[in-house]
Amino acid sequence: MHVKPQSVPRLTRPTGPRPGIGIVHFGLGAFFRAHVGIYVDEAMTASGGDWGVVGVSLVRPDQRDRLAPQDFAYTAVELGPEGETTRIVDVVQDVIVARENPARLLDLLADPGLRIVTLTVTEKGYCHEPATGALNRTHPDIVHDLAHPDAPRSAPGYLVRGLARRRAAGLPPFTVLTCDNLPQNGRMVRGVVLELAHLIDPALADWIEGEGRFPATMVDRIVPATSAGDIERLATRTGVYDAAPVLHEPFRQWGVEDDFVGHARPDFAAAGVEMVADVTPFEDMKLRCLNGTHSALAYLGYLSGHETIAEAVADPVLARFIRHLWTAEIVPSLQAPPNVDLAAYTEALFARYTNPAIRHRTWQIAMDGSQKLPQRILATLAENLVAGRDARGLTLVVAAWIRYIGGVDETGAAIDVRDPMAERLRALSEANPDAQAKVTAFLGLREVFPKALADTPTFAADLARALATLEEHGAQVAVAKVAP
């Protein structure tokens, strides 16, 4: 916990009436509060409605304990190239720690006033197999949730049990609106929920399938982690102590499929949300162009000694490589969304990456690579191989992930690897010191690599060569070979 400076008062929420609760949000981290929460707040300002948010932390009380003393209000700090602007956001009404009080959360999910459940629980929070999108039935939380219907642990477990209570009470389902960076995210979550529901009660699964709605979304805003220094600096600047501010870039975009139960939703369009029939082209563009190159910069940038994305793209070698990925390997795989110029879009992305006010750490983006790579890199890579397009750069990114996950950087220093499969990946790396053997072992990970891709001989050979170059000559040399 950060210590409150004694010289300034604690942030308090603005005076005035508060809206009723219409949304429960799982995963009340910085991204939701800097992106979706602001849109909801602006939609209510524009058109009213009871769309207050109750946040849910599945395990830890940290976020609740930071926000509760300031009545769940927080400061959003926009980091522009010319300076900062701040605003107080008052959309969150309460935070529930699910592990402490599962009954309260299940009661709220069954409340007639609740109409939407949103989620930013990251890729690993859906208890699915990233390579296939299917429910991981052996996941410890899923095993627990099947055995303990009144005290789930996972987000899918709470969704299914909450929907079951609504069905039993004769209520319509809530809309499930995932805001995580996953391809076909609404369809994936729908599949996980239906599969889990079918294991519990096939009739419940049929009801959810017929009555439920799971619109897909595309979210885009860079939100760097907030440091203790940021909190102290903000307190000095504003004269008010906020224990839980969020930092974000000026740019934002949110595309949402307009498919809600009973058409019940905030007036998102009034806040600038793109309400569309099919979000897939927007989702693919963002996942591949932004998230894909973010992962590339995370692994190759970290191995090159760069702490942040802005530092990484200031490196001419990496800048050429990112532009190569866009022009030769990523953009050719995409169908442009309506009225979008992909060349202009990637140029705007590059300009966002260079914003010196955004300290988005390569180490932060490198987390949970086993969950992120299938969506951000491998899908594009596989399509390129089938189509006969260039895939050398994307293959190098995969090799850089394997190099990074080994836990030792190019100077011999330890890497603090954060990944749900970290121990298993580290063991594979250490047991196979040769690049070819290492690649063979990693390609056997069905949770990460689809069989069709792993069994492609040219990919396996190219990946082994890329990894050998990284290990023998370093990231800078390997990158320069692809984009001289």
**Do 224 and 308 belong to one domain?**
no
In a domain, 44, yes or no: yes
One-letter amino acid identity for 34?
A
Of 192, 208, 215, 221, residue with least CA distance to 130: 192
Query: What is the pLDDT, as a whole number, of residue 338?
Result: 84
Of 208, 17, 132, residue with least CA distance to 375: 132
Question: Cα Rg for the chain, rounded, in angstroms?
Answer: 23
Instruction: Report the CATH number at residue 289.
Output: 1.10.1040.10
Q: Is the pLDDT of residue 6 over 70?
A: no
Query: What is the pLDDT, as a whole number, of residue 369?
Result: 95
**Do 196 and 300 belong to one domain?**
no
Q: Is the pLDDT of residue 286 over 80?
A: yes
Token couple for 239: 């004269």
Of 312, 347, 365, residue with least CA distance to 123: 365
**Do 380 and 463 belong to one domain?**
yes
**Do 101 and 25 belong to one domain?**
yes
In a domain, 82, yes or no: yes
Rounded CA-CA distance 279/284 in Å is: 9
Q: Is the pLDDT of residue 16 over 90?
A: no
Query: What is the pLDDT, as a whole number, of residue 27?
Result: 96
Tens of pLDDT, residue by residue over 311-369, are: 999 999 999 999 999 999 999 999 998 889 999 999 999 999 999 888 889 999 999 99
Query: What is the pLDDT, as a whole number, of residue 3?
Result: 45
Tens of pLDDT, residue by residue over 210-233, are: 999 999 999 999 998 899 999 999
**Do 232 and 139 belong to one domain?**
yes
Q: What is the mean pLDDT of residues 72-92?
A: 94
**Do 293 and 232 belong to one domain?**
no
In a domain, 213, yes or no: yes
Give the Cα-Cα-Cα angle 411, 413, 416 (nearest 5 degrees): 135
Rounded CA-CA distance 384/438 in Å is: 23
Query: What is the pLDDT, as a whole number, of residue 4?
Result: 52
Work out the percent of the chain whose per-residue pLDDT is above 70: 99
Residue finishing a domain among 237, 253, 276: 276
**Do 285 and 267 belong to one domain?**
no
Q: How confident is the model at residue 307 (pLDDT cuts 50, 70, 90)?
A: very high
Query: What is the pLDDT, as a whole number, of residue 231?
Result: 95
Q: Is the pLDDT of residue 131 over 90?
A: no
In a domain, 157, yes or no: yes
Single pTM value for the model: 0.82
**Do 160 and 293 belong to one domain?**
no
**Do 367 and 247 belong to one domain?**
no
Tens of pLDDT, residue by residue over 359-410, are: 889 999 999 999 999 989 999 999 999 999 999 999 999 999 999 999 999 9
**Do 228 and 328 belong to one domain?**
no
Q: Is the pLDDT of residue 128 over 70?
A: yes
| Domain count for the chain | 2
In a domain, 324, yes or no: yes
User: Residue 79 gets which letter from DSSP?
Assistant: E
Residue finishing a domain among 252, 276, 300: 276
Q: Dihedral of the CA atoms 314, 315, 316, 320 (nearest 10)?
A: -90
**Do 183 and 308 belong to one domain?**
no
**Do 250 and 289 belong to one domain?**
no
In a domain, 384, yes or no: yes
Instruction: Report the CATH number at residue 75.
Output: 3.40.50.720
Query: What is the pLDDT, as a whole number, of residue 424?
Result: 94
In a domain, 2, yes or no: no
Q: What is the mean pLDDT of residues 430-456?
A: 94
In a domain, 312, yes or no: yes
Q: How far is CA 157 from CA 60, 115, 127, 211, in A?
A: 17, 18, 10, 18
Q: How confident is the model at residue 2 (pLDDT cuts 50, 70, 90)?
A: very low
Query: What is the pLDDT, as a whole number, of residue 1?
Result: 40
Q: Is the pLDDT of residue 183 over 90?
A: no
Q: Is the pLDDT of residue 181 over 90?
A: no
Q: Which residue range(s) make up the domain with 213?
A: 21-276
Residue finishing a domain among 238, 254, 276: 276
Query: What is the pLDDT, as a whole number, of residue 81?
Result: 82
One-letter amino acid identity for 153?
R
